[in-house]
Chains A and B, each alone.
Chain A
């Protein structure tokens, strides 16, 4: 406020009414008032919280994260037992959230792109069917779809014992490797006869690393081919080499570690072996995929429609073949429109995965934000950590989005 006085006196006397009527000072007045009101609000809320907590004899303490959780989690990506801490339980939940979000994003992209392209098809029947799919899923709550798929899986599918006997009521699919039962879907898993350092996790990490290195090597090859084309006008054929670079080492490693398929088999009352995908995961994954896919389909459609017809006509006039037209002219322009809403759909999918609660999928909301809170009575701290996790995830993804937007922005004068 001293600066105002100073500036005011400089112009021949500052009148108090200038604080309200002079545009230069009014913005400061408004902000000062807003600031005071905001501080008062925060003080009021904090004061209420402190009073309420002291009344109930509670304090704010995150020490509960280090204590024994004492509950089981039915789907764990990292080793976990009920004797582990609440912190580890939260980590298991976070990984489960990320797992279903990851699976959902990939599947929803595939479904969405296919449906979006099909909706633009000149085939009346196909575009009509896709319109029904998109409208049907966009206008009905996601929660309903999750529960529907869960109910269909758990009440409509055969029991494992239906697979038993000489003339079973149900049979496995794809050469006896996939079993769809009312307890979930059993699929074959990859098993290593001689894993690296005795750990399957490290083996996978090594193979993933080999694939990544292969991708990098393939990019180097492509760059050199590009340089050669720039210099001589001739493009060497590189795709067999690039494919070999990407897949070769990984396949070789699979052989070295003795990889083999581990098919699920009926043993006793249930299937053993392979990977068991629980109904909760299936319901959540499929529902998120179909629901988000309908939204992505609309984004893809809008993106393709946004590239004007003149662009492809101009490309043809330049003598580009249809494939090159698509990859060099249409896609780069359509992707600029498609990618931002696509990423915000990924964000929505991640946040919507918190509906896991409806089918008992143990995501971070069910572990940290559910059982942990109930057992320790630390609602305030638990909800704070939970909110923080989602906030950090969202802000990270939107930061990446901003970087991407900056890189593809139209460069104007």
Chain B
């Protein structure tokens, strides 16, 4: 080495580079926006054609939709008045949305025929309910807030339907009685305690609740105006049916899935029959069953609320689908998990609760949320049995002389309402999947 150095020195070189040359930037076509464009939009002839076609499609849609939306007319009494205003402003035949139908009827689309001066009640009820769901959805919140979650159904019920406050309080008291009975007896005999936890509240609701509510109401009258179910409609109806059925169908679906995989012959066959029958028939047929036939199966003279019947039917329907999803999760667990739980000496319910279900439910999250999204969308089917959901109301609005012939504006509004809710649910499920992922971190 030193030899060569000596030689170089001997040549009396006038210039020796001391530091590295900075790397020259990549060619213009290989960096920045141009590179991105080349790789993502124009990588081959086929892609060039597809990109051009895609751009044309977007341009065509955007050039029709956006001016139409932005020219929208917000204040008018009827579609013909809308058209007059449009002709004045933009000239005849120019596309302009008539958002006035929403300005005038948004309250119906949201609340149905709920009394106008009481709108704060469903808003407060749903808001409280959603807020109370947060401790369940996000485990970072302090655990004592779960008490709000437990109270939420009763508060929301009271706010939306109104009536005496003692009805929800006494019903909630039934649950408390059941819990008390369980705690009191669980030291004596486990089976008796479980039985008591079921029997005591049922007996209480059947025989004691009615008189107790009356007595409390006459002693301390606390009531707000009662709103019958018939007045509730619009998106509020979809939210009520959707939320109730979602919350009720999850535990029922898990029980059905456990039943279907059970070793007990009768239990498993009954679960299979139930699940397959429900899944084999469209929801619409079940809804008609609820509205036409349920009266045949109940004791003569029973006549309960149509909305309640619908909630029961939708719950049963969704629970069958959830059962299948959860069964998939249960089947996906390696057998070692079941055997491991058994070898720890856990009994059936303990092993399910502590070992099997947490893992199985984690696997089933996407499927469960998909079922929930489907259920929420399916609440629109209640229009066929005469409940006034947003689609039913939009049909009614389009049938009036003032708004006859309008459709895009209404459907965009309704579609957006559902899209926001369903999209939020699917994003939440992706968040939950990421949070619970235990492998490949």
Binding site for B on A (CB under 8 A): 20, 27, 30-31, 34-35, 38, 45, 48-49, 51-53, 55, 121-126, 129, 135-136, 138-144, 147-148, 151-152, 155, 351-352, 354-355, 357-358, 365, 369, 373, 379-380, 383, 386-387, 390-391, 393-395
Interface-forming stretch among B127-135, B156-164, B173-181, B275-283? B275-283
| Known pairs A31-B266, A124-B41; A143 contacts B47 (CB<8 A) | no
Question: What residues of B have a CB within 8 angstroms of the CB of A129 in the complex?
Answer: 54, 57-58
Contact indicator B381/A143 (Cβ below 8 Å): yes
Contact indicator A395/B280 (Cβ below 8 Å): yes
Q: State in angstroms the CA–CA spacing of A142 and B376 once bound together.
A: 11
Contact indicator B423/A135 (Cβ below 8 Å): yes
Q: Does B383 sit at the interface, judged by CB under 8 A?
A: yes
Binding site for A on B (CB under 8 A): 39-41, 43, 47, 50-51, 54-55, 57-58, 191, 263-267, 270, 276-277, 279-285, 288-289, 292-293, 295-300, 373, 377-378, 380-381, 383-384, 391, 394-395, 405, 407-408, 411, 414-415, 418-419, 422-423, 426
Question: What residues of A have a CB within 8 angstroms of the CB of B47 in the complex?
Answer: 121-123
Q: State in angstroms the CA–CA spacing of A31 and B267 once bound together.
A: 7
Question: What residues of B have a CB within 8 angstroms of the CB of A394 in the complex?
Answer: 279-281
Contact indicator B293/A379 (Cβ below 8 Å): yes
Q: State in angstroms the CA–CA spacing of A138 and B426 once bound together.
A: 10
Contact indicator B292/A383 (Cβ below 8 Å): yes
Q: A147-B391, A394-B281 are in contact. List 11 more A-B contacts (CB 8 A).
A: A48-B300, A123-B41, A124-B40, A139-B419, A143-B383, A148-B407, A355-B284, A383-B292, A391-B276, A391-B280, A391-B281
Closest Cβ of chain A to B148, distance in Å, is 29
User: Which partner residue on chain B sits nearest A58 by CB separation?
Assistant: B296
Closest Cβ of chain B to A284, distance in Å, is 13
User: Which partner residue on chain A sits nearest B47 by CB separation?
Assistant: A123
Closest Cβ of chain A to B299, distance in Å, is 6
Question: What residues of B have a CB within 8 angstroms of the CB of A138 in the complex?
Answer: 373, 422
Closest Cβ of chain B to A78, distance in Å, is 23
Q: State in angstroms the CA–CA spacing of A35 and B270 once bound together.
A: 9
Contact indicator B285/A123 (Cβ below 8 Å): no
Q: State in angstroms the CA–CA spacing of A174 and B376 once bound together.
A: 42
| Known pairs A38-B270, A49-B296, A49-B297; A27 contacts B281 (CB<8 A) | no
Choose one: B266, B277, B297, B405; the contact of A48 (CB below 8 Å). B297
Contact indicator B299/A351 (Cβ below 8 Å): no
Closest Cβ of chain A to B169, distance in Å, is 31
4 A-B pairs with the lowest CB-CB distances in the bound complex, closest first: A394-B280, A139-B422, A124-B40, A351-B282
Q: State in angstroms the CA–CA spacing of A45 and B289 once bound together.
A: 14
Q: State in angstroms the CA–CA spacing of A106 and B264 once bound together.
A: 42
Closest Cβ of chain A to B434, distance in Å, is 18
Question: What residues of B have a CB within 8 angstroms of the CB of A386 in the complex?
Answer: 285
User: Which partner residue on chain A sits nearest B420 by CB separation?
Assistant: A139
- How many Cβ-Cβ contacts under 8 Å join chain A to chain B? 151
Contact indicator A140/B377 (Cβ below 8 Å): yes
| Known pairs A27-B264, A48-B300, A151-B411; A123 contacts B293 (CB<8 A) | no
Contact indicator A52/B295 (Cβ below 8 Å): yes
Question: What residues of B have a CB within 8 angstroms of the CB of A45 in the complex?
Answer: 297
Contact indicator A379/B50 (Cβ below 8 Å): no
Question: 5 interchain pairs (CB within 8 A)?
Answer: A52-B295, A55-B300, A148-B407, A387-B281, A390-B281
Q: State in angstroms the CA–CA spacing of A355 and B54 once bound together.
A: 32
| Known pairs A148-B411, A390-B280; A123 contacts B373 (CB<8 A) | no
Q: State in angstroms the CA–CA spacing of A355 and B270 once bound together.
A: 29
Q: State in angstroms the CA–CA spacing of A27 and B289 once bound together.
A: 35
User: Which partner residue on chain B sits nearest A397 by CB separation?
Assistant: B280
Question: What residues of B have a CB within 8 angstroms of the CB of A123 in the complex?
Answer: 40-41, 43, 47, 50-51, 54
Question: What residues of B have a CB within 8 angstroms of the CB of A351 in the complex?
Answer: 281-283
Question: What residues of A have a CB within 8 angstroms of the CB of B377 in the complex?
Answer: 139-142
Contact indicator B297/A144 (Cβ below 8 Å): no
Contact indicator B263/A51 (Cβ below 8 Å): no
Q: State in angstroms the CA–CA spacing of A355 and B288 once bound together.
A: 12
Closest Cβ of chain B to A30, distance in Å, is 6
Question: What residues of B have a CB within 8 angstroms of the CB of A395 in the complex?
Answer: 276, 280
Contact indicator B289/A383 (Cβ below 8 Å): yes
Contact indicator A152/B419 (Cβ below 8 Å): no
Contact indicator A139/B381 (Cβ below 8 Å): no
Q: State in angstroms the CA–CA spacing of A148 and B300 once bound together.
A: 42
Contact indicator A34/B266 (Cβ below 8 Å): yes
Closest Cβ of chain B to A51, distance in Å, is 6
Question: What residues of A have a CB within 8 angstroms of the CB of B423 in the complex?
Answer: 135, 139
Q: Which of A125, A393, A395: most chain B Cβ within 10 A? A: A125
Choose one: B43, B292, B295, B407; the contact of A152 (CB below 8 Å). B407
Closest Cβ of chain A to B79, distance in Å, is 12
User: Which partner residue on chain A sits nearest B58 by CB separation?
Assistant: A129
Closest Cβ of chain B to A101, distance in Å, is 12
Contact indicator B55/A140 (Cβ below 8 Å): no
